Amino acid sequence: MGGNGFSRTARNVAANQGDVPWLRLLLGLLLIGFFLLALMLQIQTSEAFILNGAPVTLSADWGILRQPWDLMHGQLPLNMAKAVIWGWGIELVYLVCVVGGAAVHGRLGGLFKTGALLLIIFDFWTDLNYGTIASGIGGQIAFAAITSFMVAFFGTIGIKMVFSAILEMV
């Protein structure tokens, strides 16, 4: 009986050529999750850059998401407040450039796209120099490249996938 249900599901996926809304929803949520993870890592490396600090250990520090709240309530030391403004500011400007590049056409749209590209390059550089991986320079370059790629594409693709799946399921 169990194999029959699987067979029916496999035929359904094949008939829809893999376009099953709940799978798209799941993949979209996964992409958004990894976008947030990469964003947190880039905020950490940008903060290390502005503080002229040592490279950071690369681990998911979900407390990063609380930093803007702590900043607004005056709960951060001055240097950390500057680093939070810098780290979050870089990523927010990047997101504005991505949205602006997609929503605005013509010369202004080109400026947004150029801004996004420059910020991707800067984030790549800070990830390369302030993210620590024990795999040598090759691992550092690979980490910086994949993290920049995830921030550049996973958020927007994930959101599009989630919304298109939800609209199709309703």
For residue 14, tell me if it sits in a domain. no
Are 55 and 130 contacting, i.e. CB atoms less than 8 angstroms apart?
yes
Please check whether residue 115 lies inside any domain of the structure. yes
Does position 142 have pLDDT exceeding 80, yes or no? yes
Output DSSP code: residue 106: S
83 in any annotated domain? yes
131, 140 Cβ separation under 8 angstroms: yes
State the total domains in the chain. Answer: 1
Is 8 among the domain residues? no
Is 12 a member of any domain? no
pLDDT of residue 103: 86
Residue 59 domain flag: no
- Domain range spanning residue 93? 19-52+65-169
Query: Do the domain assignments include residue 4?
Result: no
Residue 58 lies in a domain: no
Among 105-114, 123-132, 158-167, whose mean pLDDT is lowest?
123-132
144 has a pLDDT exceeding 60: yes
Stretch 45-59: mean pLDDT: 84
pLDDT of 156 higher than 70: yes
- What are the helix and strand counts (H, E) for the chain? 7, 2
